[in-house]
Amino acid sequence: MAEGPRFSPELNNRIFEANHLAGVRGDTHSDIPHLLKALLSREGEAVTALRRAGHDVDELRASVESALPPPPVQFG
């Protein structure tokens, strides 16, 4: 099973806090992809809940995007 992206401890804490506020429950390792997908797609209940809680979703998304590795180069 491939490992997900590695984030700084500060960004990890922000993602976990955002998960909690967004009501994402369960195994924390499976929660992160769910929240990241919501953040990167700019929609969904998680994003709405974060905005209601006063989070700067755009800034959090930018932090996540800058920490992600570049996509693999595709040939052909």
The residue extents of the domains of the chain are 9-67
Portion of the chain with pLDDT greater than 70, in percent = 54
Give the integer Cα–Cα distance in Å for 53 and 70: 30
Asked if pLDDT for residue 46 goes beyond 60, the answer is: yes
pTM recorded for the entire structure: 0.52
Tens of pLDDT along 54-74?
A: 878 888 878 877 777 777 777
Q: 35 and 19 in contact (C-beta within 8 Å)?
A: yes
What's 23's DSSP letter? Answer: T
Residue 47 neighbours by CB under 8 Å, 6+ apart? 22, 38, 39, 57
Better pLDDT: 8 or 35? 8
